[in-house]
Amino acid sequence: MNLALHEDWMQNFTFDELSVGQGATIVRSLTDADIAGFAAVSGDFNPTHLNDDYARGAGLSGKTAHGMWSGALISTMLGTVFPGPGTLYIEQRMRFLAAARAGDRLEIAVRVKALDATTHEVTLDCVVRRQDGPELMVGEAVVKAPTSKQRVPRANGLRWHVFDAAAGVQRLLDSALALGRLRCAIVHPCDSESLRGALEAGLHGLFTPVIVAPRDRVLAVAQEAELDLDGIEIVDVPHSHAAAERAAELAALDQVQALMKGSLHTDELMKAVLMRPELRTKRRLSHVFRFDVPMYHKPLLVTDAALNIEPTLDEKVDIVQNAIDFARILGCAQPKVAVLAAVETVNPRMACTIDAAALCKMAERGQITGGLLDGPLAFDNAISLEAARIKKISSPVAGDPDILMVPDLVSGNILAKQLEYLGGAMGSGIVLGARVPIALTSRADGATARLASAALAVLVAHHNRQAKT
């Protein structure tokens, strides 16, 4: 008999209902997420299961499912379908004949081979095969069948979601690496994480790091963290203020094409940049976070959560335009911008709702270009299409924004850190609006976030160079 896994209820077969030759079959499709999920749960990160290139180098046609995945499917059958709830595992023997690949539609079949009325033990022949015929696994299982009839609800509320934080970073790296190296001033990397992030960016081929910092402090950090500075240019300065000023000077002279914040305060670096007329543009400086969020379907930008405390409407025009231009550099042809507020209606007592409505009208009139704006939108109906539907909001942005524009720095900073520390998002950040991009991360960020921010800076720097020619 064929049984489905999608039913709301699970009903077992008792020992007394079983007979030799009786069996059941279910069908299950294998996905990349299944393979990654099994690796995450089991701790088996063998690259033959996770990396196509490695698997081909090992003589396989590509990455394959773990062998025990087939064993897990047999367990699914026995524990939830046939005999079903109440079944206790005694023994299982398996012989693996071939590997499953993502996209395979698998047929899982068991059949009663023997019954022991004294112990209520059941011996079953087991097989997992592709639906097109080839057997992947054959074996035998011994279970103790349930003796009482049970009908229990299936745990449909459980959801498995695989989030590969490294994948988003790797995509950024791949995009940046295709453009070639440039020189980047690393401003005062006087702790292990900021120095490691800069060196890893150099090792990955993103840029040639130029460290601007007190030499003795950098050497001491490198020694303590066991980091190799061989061949790395160090511009010696007495302190963090001088580091910021000298790095800005190098950028103004086009001796470096990007800046990267180390372990100094953001204000120090921004002040030095603003003091250089050669680095100013007609735009206000603003910050953009880029997040890979576990429960969101694409990269998400948040602006401005780091520089502008309480921006005016005029300043918000620059902030949103910077973010739109940045999203286009990242490959989004027409970025969707959700202008956030606490509510989705214009309220004269909430200035941010008036600003949101004005920004949308300015976009309609061509004062803001390249993106599609909607607002004010509360966070729920900005992110969730279902929430927007319930509130009867019809919008091409709702449920699908590329950019979240926050009303002020406080709300933006809270949102960004919630995404990272509660939502498990992988974030990186950059300052826009200057002649050179500035990779800007929190002093608490690790080397991976700094590496991703470096990739963002490289992408923007190369775009700026192309725009000049």
pLDDT given for residue 164 in this prediction: 77
Question: Which residues are CB-neighbours of 73 under 8 A, at least 6 positions away?
Answer: 28, 106, 108, 128
| Contact of 371 with 334, CB cutoff 8 Å | yes
Summarize pLDDT for 159-196 with one digit per residue, the tens.
667 777 777 888 888 898 888 889 999 999 999 888 99
> What count of other Cβ atoms lies within 10 Å of the Cβ of residue 174?
10
**3-class state of residue 231 by DSSP:** coil
pLDDT given for residue 4 in this prediction: 47
Report d(CA 448, CA 125) in Å as an integer.
48
* Of residues 211, 169, 168, the one with CA closest to residue 186: 211
- What Cα–Cα distance (Å) separates residue 324 from each residue in 14, 69, 371? 62, 44, 6
Q: For residue 28, what are the β-bridge partners? A: 106
What is the arithmetic mean of pLDDT over 109-118? 95
Summarize pLDDT for 192-203 with one digit per residue, the tens.
888 998 898 898
88 lies in some domain: yes
Summarize pLDDT for 32-56 with one digit per residue, the tens.
888 888 888 888 989 888 888 888 8
Region at 146 (left for phi over 0; alpha for psi -120 to 50; beta for the rest)? beta
Q: Of 51-55, 104-108, 249-253, 386-390, which one has max mean pLDDT?
A: 249-253
249 lies in some domain: no
pLDDT given for residue 241 in this prediction: 95
Q: What phi and psi, each to the nearest 5 degrees, are found at residue 216?
A: -60, -40
Domain count, the chain: 2
Question: Which residues are CB-neighbours of 129 under 8 A, at least 6 positions away?
Answer: 106, 107, 109, 135, 136
384 lies in some domain: yes
pLDDT given for residue 444 in this prediction: 67
Q: For residue 208, what are the β-bridge partners? A: 183
Summarize pLDDT for 315-367 with one digit per residue, the tens.
999 999 999 999 999 999 999 999 999 999 999 999 999 999 999 999 999 99
State which residues form the domain around 22.
9-147
pLDDT beyond 60 at 2? no
Long-range contacts at 73-78 (CB < 8 A, ≥ 24 apart): 73/28, 73/106, 73/108, 73/128, 74/108, 74/110, 74/126, 74/128, 74/137, 74/139, 74/141, 76/5, 76/26, 76/28, 76/108, 77/24, 77/26, 77/108, 77/110, 77/126, 78/110, 78/124, 78/141, 78/143
Of 122, 147, 172, the residue at which a domain comes to its end is: 147
* Of residues 249, 242, 307, 237, the one with CA closest to residue 279: 249
CB neighbour class for 279 (10 Å; exposed up to 12, middle 13-18, buried from 19): buried
261 lies in some domain: no
- The pair of structure tokens assigned to 138 is 């054959």
Amino acid at position 8, single letter: D
What's the whole-model pTM score? 0.79
More confidently predicted of 297 and 447? 297
pLDDT given for residue 224 in this prediction: 93
Q: What is the CATH number of the domain that holds 60?
A: 3.10.129.10
What is the arithmetic mean of pLDDT over 202-218? 93
165 lies in some domain: no
Report d(CA 194, CA 189) in Å as an integer.
5
pLDDT given for residue 469 in this prediction: 61
18 lies in some domain: yes
* Of residues 11, 171, 9, the one with CA closest to residue 82: 11
427 lies in some domain: yes
175 lies in some domain: no
DSSP class per residue in 140-177: EEEEE--SS--EEE--TT-------HHHHHHHHHHHHH
Q: What is the CATH number of the domain that holds 293?
A: 3.40.718.10
Q: For residue 92, what are the β-bridge partners? A: 141
Of 97, 129, 147, the residue at which a domain comes to its end is: 147
Of 118, 147, 176, the residue at which a domain comes to its end is: 147
pLDDT beyond 60 at 6? no
What is the arithmetic mean of pLDDT over 88-92? 94
Say what percent of the chain tops pLDDT 90: 66
